[in-house]
Amino acid sequence: MRGMMQIAYGAYTYVVFAVLGCAALLGVVVVPGLGRRRRIARTAARLFLRLAGMQLAVKGLDRLPASQCVVVANHASYLDGLVLTAALPPRFGFVIKREMAEVPLAGSLLHRIGAEFVERFDRHKGAADTRRVLRKAAAGQSLVFFPEGTFSPQPGLLKFHAGAFHTAARAGCPVVPAAVQGTRQALPPGQLLPHAARITVELLLPIVQPSTEDSGTAAAELRERARQAILHHLCERDLAAA
């Protein structure tokens, strides 16, 4: 009986996701203005979580600087991007692996809300994508990164890649660590069926730019401080040290 209930719940959430996803895509296609399109995506993400019984609690929004910043979050589930879309103000653009651009419907929606796609496996294309992201940051765009780049089947924090922190160092803006909890329980890695779960997003204290003119040194310090802040808050295993 429990298995049947779980299958029924999973089917329900996928239907809700498909209906809201199609409605959101239609909205972002026809509505002008990036800010308006991002608000549509945010509303759809929040409504999905509510209808799916995934209670979202967002803490520390008052810690977000009013000016430009880079948010970096841990990555534990395919739900993380949707959850941060629901949690953050619509002024943020997401930096996402390029494979997502090829996903039907999702790729189009992400493109219309200003996501930046980055190639991970082709060095030449990845460098061009990185330069484009840096230009966006230099123009004052606030961005969201998942610096682990992927997630592990086991709980814990993987090594952080440097891209988010080089972007922040070049733009001269603070880094805001974000701790996401509950998404691994809601949609565990390697599983198809979601579960109702409580999800929390807590924005931690911003990390200001180090007092150095060397952007490489600044990026390394930002990365280490952000990673330690998230690791301390999650109280999970340090998978980079394993």
pTM across the whole model: 0.92
How confident is the model at residue 214, as a pLDDT? 83
Q: Cα 88 to the chain's mean position, in Å? A: 10
How confident is the model at residue 184, as a pLDDT? 96
Q: Which CATH class is domain 2-234?
A: alpha beta
Measured distance CA(79)–CA(71) in Å, rounded = 17
For the chain, domain boundaries: 2-234
> What DSSP letter does each residue of 172-185 carry, written as one string?
T--EEEEEEESHHH
Backbone angles phi and psi of 143, in degrees to 5: -130, 155
Q: What is the pLDDT of residues 63-72, one digit of tens each?
A: 999 999 999 9
Q: Which residues pair with 117 in a beta bridge?
A: 96
Q: Which regions in the chain score pLDDT beneath 50? A: none
Contact 170, 215 (CB under 8 A): yes
220 three-class SS: helix
DSSP E strand boundaries for 74-114: 92-97
